[in-house]
Amino acid sequence: MKILVPVKRVIDYNVKPRVKADGSGVDLANVKMSMNPFDEIAVEEAIRLKEAGAAEEVIAVSIGPAKAQETLRTALAMGADRAILVETDAEVEPLAVAKILKAIAEAEEPGIVMLGKQAIDDDSNQTGQMLAALMGRPQGTFASKVAIDGDHVSVTREVDGGLETVKLALPAIVTTDLRLNEPRYASLPNIMKAKKKPLDTKTPDDFGVDVAPRLKTTHVGEPPVRQAGEIVPDVDTLVAKLKSLGVA
Amino acid sequence: MTALVLAELSDGAVAPATLSAVTAAAQLGGPVHVLVAGAQGAADEAAKIAGVEKVLHAGDAAYADMLAENVAPLVAGLMAKDGVGYDAFLAPATTTGKNVAPRVAALLDVMQVSDILSVEGPKSFTRPIYAGNAIATVESSDAKLVITVRTTAFDKAAAEGGSASVEAVSGPGDAGLSSFVGLEAVKSDRPELTSAGTIVSGGRALKDSETFAEVITPLADKLGAAIGASRAAVDAGYVPNDYQVGQTGKIVAPELYVAVGISGAIQHLAGMKDSKVIVAINKDPDAPIFQVADLGLVADLFEAVPEMTAKL
């Protein structure tokens, strides 16, 4: 079985995004970029499934600018076997990403497509579910545990009320949540080895997918600022204030 | 413009998240219908929500567990029905809504608008991006709208006062792709985090899971509060992930939010800054949490919290 792992190049998790003064977006010039953290978890899980003998090959794919190659090399250094870059400078929405991934999945026939549940830039949380819909396959979203059992996969999902387990017929789409695993750091020898692993470059046109956006962003602004209140000197004052506010 | 809202159910009853989604749907300006996949009782309950014109009840057992593989084709079918279809589909941005809505959107070839904070026009909405560090205004060019609604950003429609008709609907049924195995529910006498009136949350400063429980639980008991946590506390293993408040966890807006030993990373603030009264207890006077707190106490939490618990 192959596992296909889509990865996205996004602003680094530790960088505080700055909104551009003209309201056109977030300033990404000279900002550190990294692999989307949820995608790192997806790469790790795919590699663990391979190490456990449940999969033969892990293929990383990224849709984005030429620099997304770096993100793919990170996935290769972690242990993915080969990579596909679908190169475009356009901002590709989840629906178009899902259409491109569907075309790749139809060619590669993976048993599982393992994705991060959301990207930390647009916070859409859509791509996996959309891919599953387009392919007519089951989806195990927000996974905290993945167990392959013959021609099925059991996925434990992080839902509002606790942990839900569903059983999906393979091939299936799985999206990862935080607790699924802790991604490994790539070792230096593996980083060197990754440079020699195959990386194919394609374009959205190769798959006949129109990436024109359906949503137009008309403005990007700062979130409303909440006014700081007062610092109270001691617990007695705090308790008295809470009682006078009627909340305790 | 008629809108269809997916009802969120909890233990067979209409969950409050539904009421916020109904308010968002009403702001689109047209009639609001609600789809209840589950028990008849919940459909009757949904019919009483103020402002709802019609309730569609899908009683087929295939929909009872809200499996997206089964529910999405049902919704897409209702949306696309000739002459009587819908212009918009809205689901609360709960884990159920987030699971089902994009599957509906893809079936309809629509780009979903996720997690809306406000309705700005018939096809224009605001939504948080970059973990709430920026707010985008987006306009859809699709023929139909598929939306998930950040429930804390919309008032709840009145649960009583409406008198909608209830109509039975059916769809393709079981897609045969997936099955529900079980739900390991969080066993707790406490209110559910996303609907609690009071929340006491702990951060990494609580040291370990035992200390977290020793310090936070008595205060939460005293206040009748739900217990939450920062991502740092979850990552450190003090509490399970479903306690997590923040952009990647739960979005909450209680009457009172008590942040104990939480520094206030932006991703945490994104999940709780709409709370009515925020109290922060932290020994670091420069912690960002104090910039959003209504009442701040710079103190050692291991002394202040037990004292507070005793004096409340």
User: What pLDDT tens digit does each residue of chain B (312 aa) get?
Assistant: 899 999 999 888 999 999 999 999 999 999 999 999 988 999 999 999 999 999 999 999 999 999 999 999 999 999 998 778 999 999 999 999 999 999 999 999 999 999 999 999 999 999 999 988 899 999 999 999 999 999 989 999 999 999 999 999 999 999 999 999 999 887 677 888 887 899 999 999 999 999 999 999 999 999 999 999 999 999 899 998 889 998 778 889 899 999 999 999 988 998 898 899 999 999 999 999 999 999 999 999 999 999 999 999
Average pLDDT over residues A40-45: 98
User: What kind and span of H or E run contains B18?
Assistant: helix B16-26
- Are residues B141 and B50 part of one domain? yes
Asked if B178 reaches chain A (Cβ–Cβ under 8 Å), the answer is: yes
Q: Does residue B182 sit within a domain?
A: no
pLDDT, mean over chain A: 95
Q: What is the pLDDT of residue B195?
A: 79
The CA distances from residue B11 to B25, B42, B57, B66, B180, in Å, are 24, 10, 16, 13, 16
In chain B, which residue's Cα lies nearest the Cα of A174? B99
Look at chain B and report how many structural domains it folds into: 2
Residue A81, token pair as written in the block = 């076997």
CATH code for position B197: 3.40.50.1220
Query: Could you give the percent of chain A with pLDDT greater than 70?
Result: 100
Q: A179 contacts in B (CB within 8 Å)?
A: 234, 241
Residue A1, token pair as written in the block = 């079985």
Q: Does residue B173 sit within a domain?
A: no
Residues B171 and B192: their CA atoms lie apart, in Å, by 32
Asked if B139's CB is within 8 angstroms of A160's CB, the reply is no
- Are residues B268 and B163 part of one domain? no
Residue A190's SS3 state is helix
Q: What is the pLDDT of residue B135?
A: 96
Beta-ladder partners of A83 = A60, A199
Residues A83 and B72: their CA atoms lie apart, in Å, by 32
B268 labelled binding-site residue: yes
Which structural domain range is residue B220 located in? Answer: 193-311
Short-list B229, B169, B185, CA closest to B7 = B169
* pLDDT exceeds cutoff 80 at A49: yes
Which residue reads 């006949």 in tokens? A208
Candidate CATH numbers 3.40.50.170, 3.20.20.70, 3.40.309.10, 3.40.50.620; the one for domain A2-245: 3.40.50.620
Which residues are CB-contacts of B290 (< 8 A; sequence separation ≥ 6)? A228, A231, B264, B280, B282, B296, B298
Q: What is the pLDDT of residue B240?
A: 86
Q: What is the pLDDT of residue A226?
A: 81
Distance from CA of A3 to the nearest CA of B (A): 19
Among the residues of chain A, which ranges form H helices? 37-51, 68-78, 94-108, 127-135, 188-194, 235-245
Looking at residue B173, its amino acid is: G
Asked if B94's CB is within 8 angstroms of A133's CB, the reply is no
Q: Does residue B186 sit within a domain?
A: no
- Are residues B144 and B201 part of one domain? no
B199 labelled binding-site residue: no
**Pairing mode, strands A82-87 and A199-202:** parallel
- Are residues B136 and B254 part of one domain? no
B145, B88 in Cβ contact below 8 A?
A: yes
| ipTM of model | 0.94
Q: Does residue B226 sit within a domain?
A: yes
B137 labelled binding-site residue: no
Q: What is the pLDDT of residues A178-234, one digit of tens each?
A: 889 999 999 999 999 999 999 999 999 999 999 999 999 999 999 888 888 899 999
Q: Does residue B178 sit within a domain?
A: no
Q: Does residue B185 sit within a domain?
A: no
Residue A92's SS3 state is coil
- Are residues B14 and B157 part of one domain? yes
* pLDDT exceeds cutoff 90 at A138: yes
- Are residues B164 and B18 part of one domain? yes
Q: Does residue B55 sit within a domain?
A: yes
Residue A111's SS3 state is coil
- Are residues B15 and B51 part of one domain? yes
- Are residues B139 and B251 part of one domain? no
Q: Does residue B180 sit within a domain?
A: no
Q: Where are the beta strands (DSSP E) in B169-255?
A: 178-185, 198-202, 226-229
Beta-ladder partners of B92 = B149
A128, A173 in Cβ contact below 8 A?
A: yes
CATH code for position B149: 3.40.50.620
Residues A164 and A181: their CA atoms lie apart, in Å, by 17
Asked if B141 reaches chain A (Cβ–Cβ under 8 Å), the answer is: yes
Which of B168, B201, B225 is where one domain is finished?
B168
- Are residues B301 and B246 part of one domain? yes
- Are residues B199 and B164 part of one domain? no
